[in-house]
A and B are shown apart, each in its own frame.
Chain A
Amino acid sequence: MIAIEKSGTIQTFTRLPNEWNDDKGYHINFRKITNKEDYGFYNVVTPEYDKVTQQLSQIFWDADNKVFTYTVNNIDFDATYTFEVKDEEGNITEETKPAYDKDKLKADIISNAKGDANNLLSPTDWYSSRKAELDTAIPDSVLADRKKIRDKVDAIEAEVAALTTVESILKYTYNFND
């Protein structure tokens, strides 16, 4: 990726534009230039960072290294936010809540896991319907597969319940193919 600062704004490009207009004139076949720096284009250096626990700053010009880059900042998982609440009598009070609600994050994971499990179970639901209506036996392999899916949800719920930090919750993943 490359970037250029123009009128105080940094524009990024995946590669040089094929046409470019600047105070030197209107350039066509611009990708054929041999030295993009002559026109103010410099490489963008994106530092390595943990996409769950860190975030990048706004892009900025690093004059020492002659590149556009970012700084890496740790996300404050203990951050809170305050908001106003009006009670029944019209009194306004302030409440503070964590920016990252662990219980909500956990609930979301479990809800998603149950949704995924439901999608996996639905193709064989008709066996259950047939069993209920006609008392036709469900094949053992189907029963085993469906039990495995439900057991996996139970395992996910237990694992998620045991998570204690926002970071561990955000990094938690599951896979029904395990």
Chain B
Amino acid sequence: MAITKVTGNVLSDDSVSYDKLGVEFTASSALSGTAIDWDVAQVFTKTLSGATTFTYANDEIGMVKDLVLTGDYAITWPSGTKIITGTYDGSVANLIQVVKTAAGQYWLSISKEA
């Protein structure tokens, strides 16, 4: 019978390797649209071609996502977003990290290559 539930009795300490993690923690996805499905990848990349309004799906409290965005256009984030630090620079690639801190609350930091 296949194991369908992992319990503390099955998993020993330090036994979950990177290889065993799901794509939501390990994959990088090039966004084709503007909907960010937090289950699909850890890192999302996109080159903007116009003003962009992002939406989220499957976002859960405590999750952190990384976005690498380029393109000198206005970006609209979902309501409840707070910018913690950084300013978007349309002339370079920007690393944007989003943390969902509570229902409808997203803390966002922006950084770029020094």
Which residues on A are within 8 Å of B, measured CB to CB? 18-19, 21, 23-34
Contacts and interface: CB of A to CB of B under 8 A. Distances in A.
- Give the most central of A27, A28, A31: most B CB within 10 Å: A28
Contacts, number: 50
A28 B74 contact: yes
Contacts of A31: 74
- Give the most central of A23, A30, A31, A32: most B CB within 10 Å: A32
Q: Main SS of the interface on chain A?
A: mixed
Contact of A29 (B53, B73, B78): B73
Contacts of B80: 26
A28 B51 contact: no
13 contacts: A24-B53, A25-B78, A26-B80, A26-B82, A27-B74, A27-B75, A28-B77, A29-B72, A29-B74, A31-B74, A32-B51, A33-B74, A34-B51
B16 to A, nearest CB: 35
A26 B75 CA distance: 8
A26 B51 contact: no
Contact of A19 (B51, B72, B73, B83): B83
Interface of B: 51, 53, 72-83, 87-88, 90, 108, 110
A163 B88 CA distance: 59
A29 B88 CA distance: 6
Contact of A33 (B51, B77, B108): B51
A31 to B, nearest CB: 8
A32 B73 contact: yes
B48 to A, nearest CB: 9
A25 B74 contact: no
Contacts of A25: 53, 76-79, 81
Contacts of B81: 21, 25-26
Given A18-B87, A33-B51, A28 B79 contact: no
Contacts of B73: 29, 32
